[in-house]
Amino acid sequence: MEDTGTRVNWISPRLVTELRYELQDASDQPVFEDFSGNEFTPKYTVSIPLVGKTRETWYTDCYVGPDYIPLDGVIVGTGFIQSTGHAHTVFYDKPEGPALIMMQKKVTVG
């Protein structure tokens, strides 16, 4: 799934556990806002391979979403879309129906 409201990519904690990805501490400390307006900072990232329709593989970093966020799978943001293309043209047909999104509330430059 894609989310043009954020530059970053997300992955669900359940999928990280299920696929046994190695957690890395999030080196930057961006602040995001959840669906209820509460701020949170992701603690971990993972680097994952994504394989497209053409069997080309892209490696991308994803923030691991908090346990309480109703995210199950991978969401790519505009950074990935700009470098690779829209998810529905790269991976699969465009999904139908509503989708949940996460938006970055502010950016802290250190």
pTM: 0.72
In degrees, rounded to 5, the angle at the alpha carbon of residue 73 between the alpha carbons of residues 37 and 84 is 95
Distance CA 25, CA 44 (A): 5
* CA dist list (Å): 35 to 46, 52, 77: 23, 30, 17
**Residue spans of beta strands (DSSP E) within 1-110:** 10-11, 24-25, 31-33, 39-40, 44-51, 57-64, 74-75, 103-106
20: tokens are: 């046994």
pLDDT in tens, 25-77: 998 878 888 778 888 899 999 998 877 777 777 788 999 998 887 778 888 88
Give 54 or 9, the one with higher predicted confidence.
Answer: 9
